[in-house]
Chain A
Amino acid sequence: MRIAFASGKGGTGKTLLSTSLAWSLARDPDRVVVYADADVEEPNGHLFLAPKVTSRPPITVPLPTPVPDRCTGAKRCEAACAFHAILVVGTQVLVDQDLCHACGACTLVCTDKALVEVPFAIGALRVGATGRLAFVGGELDVGQARATPAVDATVAAAVAHADALAADTLVVDCPPGTSCATMASVRGADLVVLVTEPTPFGLHDLRLAIAMCRAMGLPVAAVINRADLGDGAVREALTAEGVPLLAELAFDRAIATAYAEGAVAAERSPAVRAAVAAIAAYAAALDRASSLPPSVQRSA
């Protein structure tokens, strides 16, 4: 079962709830749980779960790289690159790594075999564990432009890790928004939990996130954080959209303080434990309702 935590708006509590859910489930000795941090631009899960990191493999993309003395200056690669990432000067090929999508067009059209793809590091994974809870997190290097390949690599690594451990649950902490990177993080999830807050910002961005999940055909549910600081418009919108509201968390200085101290919120707050229990119960019911066996990669 793969549960993704997403939100249109940032800072609504995705990491608070996803770390809390993973931490709570992993306390059950019969369960095998993997937590994945796919918010590669701003990864924060490790700050709270404090995993013992056992390896930091690089996240790479294939980068076209010139082979010396092969280019004849035909500029086929420059013409074929839809992203304007290549400039050929004489017989020298310059590749702009920030613009390259690693699509393979340039190597395909070069008849001189003057370009080969070389793995290029754009970030690194954190692989490890917090006690019994397995941890896979992705981190984009500062200065790198394109997050989507790093998200793809992180989710793929987490799914492989979950398969290797025969895990029953994979919890994915996703980047905010509704763009390509967010889509890559929720793709294949059995349930997307949208974390929102009862403000006009929360409502506006929640609508976008629901639209994204619906376009992708993903089951969606919601949690309202800081539910007492705002109005009822978000609740009404969820009812109108037919999105189940699994839990509401009131603003609590104790939760805020625990979070500020880097603690897993579920460790300190009964209200957070109740909220993640409600999410887990809903996910389990959803899992039972489907005829397929539990799997972390059902629709991958």
Chain B
Amino acid sequence: MQRLAVFSGKGGTGKTTLVAAFAHLSERVVAADCDVDAANLALLLPGEDEPPRPFFAGLKARVVAELCLGCGDCIPHCRFGALGWVSDLEVEVEVDPLACEGCKVCGLVCPGEAFVFEDNQAGVWTRRALSATHDRDAGWLVHAALGVAQDNSGKLVARVRSEADALAAAHDIDTVLIDGPPGIGCAVHAALAQVSRILVVTEPTPSGEHDLLRLLETAAQFRVPGCVAINKFDLSPAGTAAIEAACAARGVEVIGRVPFDPAVPMALARGELPLGERVAPETDAAIRALWRRFSTQPCASQPGALITPRFGTPAP
């Protein structure tokens, strides 16, 4: 089984749009939407969802009012500012669930054992059987939604990925296609672990280039090989040239360039994929060529060569 992941570092470069197109172009695939903070792949891949399942991660503290002695000893111990008085008049502590990280320090210091810790529902996830596009089933999509103000995106990403792997094994599907989250933190690390290779979709802007390089460096730390595609490359020939030079200097291959095409957002607004007659012929051809290349050929890059020393020594 190969696990192919698409990232962007910076948001809005067209990553999800391309993943949806790739899922459509592949004969059968399990797509895993790992952008659990703003999951959009389901908007472009029709099918039938199973009922959503709750995802629990971490704990939330709650005060048992009858046991709270009102001493307030716990309040300064909470490093996340989650504890406070119920009101100016009542000598009773309450927990702000939006700020609580479930560390249980309050329980350690409470003389009245007034805290209980409950499993925290951090989000939901579900499986979708994709609508048939050819004469056979098209595969699956696993997607999830992280609850507002949650801090467990990495764990939810790991869950989405293990469900996707399980579906691929059960249905004899040989490709898992991962739509990665933005950024370079925890969620990205969870989406990068154990993938065969990644494609980074960037755009010819200073932000696009900057974020691309930070992402390639992150991938290198996970020893995952990567290649690059430049979306909307014709909006800035100079920016495209700069990105190609930066990639060449790092031994990373640019395997595709997709032109700017106003027909793409117009197709998306109709909930349609930017393929075929809906977009310019060059756009359609570029996306197809990019998928053919990414899905069939290993990356030429040597990820180890990218590794820079990790900033990890304690400050003086």
Contacts and interface: CB of A to CB of B under 8 A. Distances in A.
Interface of A: 8-12, 15, 41-42, 44, 47-48, 58, 60, 63, 65, 80, 82-83, 97-98, 101-105, 108-109, 118-121, 140-148, 175-181, 183, 197-201, 204-205, 208, 211-212, 215-216, 226, 229-231, 233, 251, 253, 256-257, 259-262
A200 B211 CA distance: 25
Interface of B: 8-13, 16, 37-38, 40, 43-44, 58-59, 77, 79-80, 98, 101-105, 108-109, 146, 148-151, 153-154, 182-186, 189, 204-207, 210-211, 214, 217-218, 221, 235-236, 238-239, 260, 262, 265-266, 268-271, 308, 310-315
A180 B97 CA distance: 12
B310 A10 contact: no
Contacts of B103: 82-83, 101, 103-105
Contact of A9 (B12, B102, B211, B308): B12
Contacts of B40: 9, 200-201, 204-205
A216 B146 CA distance: 17
Given A42-B184, A141-B311, A204 B38 contact: yes
Given A142-B184, A257-B235, A230 B211 contact: no
B75 to A, nearest CB: 14
Contacts of B221: 142-143
A58 B315 CA distance: 8
A24 to B, nearest CB: 20
Given A205-B38, A215-B98, 12 more contacts: A9-B38, A10-B182, A42-B9, A42-B10, A42-B184, A104-B103, A119-B314, A140-B185, A142-B184, A146-B186, A200-B40, A260-B204
Contacts of A231: 269-270
A256 B239 CA distance: 11
29 contacts: A9-B12, A10-B11, A11-B11, A11-B13, A41-B182, A41-B183, A42-B11, A42-B211, A44-B10, A47-B207, A82-B59, A97-B312, A104-B77, A142-B310, A142-B311, A148-B151, A176-B182, A179-B148, A179-B151, A179-B153, A180-B150, A199-B265, A199-B268, A204-B43, A205-B38, A230-B265, A231-B269, A257-B236, A261-B239
A146 B185 contact: yes
A152 to B, nearest CB: 10
A105 B154 contact: no
A176 B266 contact: no
B184 A80 contact: no
Contact of B211 (A44, A97, A229): A44
B45 to A, nearest CB: 12
Given A10-B10, A141-B311, A201 B268 contact: yes
Minimum-distance CB pairs A-B, first 4: A10-B11, A11-B12, A103-B103, A260-B236
Given A82-B59, A144-B185, A201-B40, A179 B149 contact: yes
Given A9-B12, A80-B108, A121 B37 contact: no
B145 to A, nearest CB: 8
Contacts of A205: 38, 40
A233 B270 CA distance: 11
Contacts of B148: 178-179, 183, 208, 211-212, 215
Nearest to B77: A104
Contact of A109 (B44, B108, B184): B108
A142 B269 contact: no
A111 B43 CA distance: 54
Contacts of A109: 108
A231 B266 CA distance: 8
A11 B10 contact: yes
A222 B206 CA distance: 25
A12 B13 CA distance: 10
A260 B230 CA distance: 13
Contacts of B12: 9-12, 197
Contact of A8 (B38, B59, B217, B268): B38
Contacts of A230: 265-266, 268-269
Given A103-B79, A105-B103, A178-B149, A9 B11 contact: yes
A216 B98 contact: yes
Nearest to A233: B269
Contacts of B8: 10-11
B217 A142 contact: yes
Contacts of A176: 11, 37-38, 182
Nearest to A50: B206
A200 B206 contact: no
B262 A179 contact: no
B169 to A, nearest CB: 27
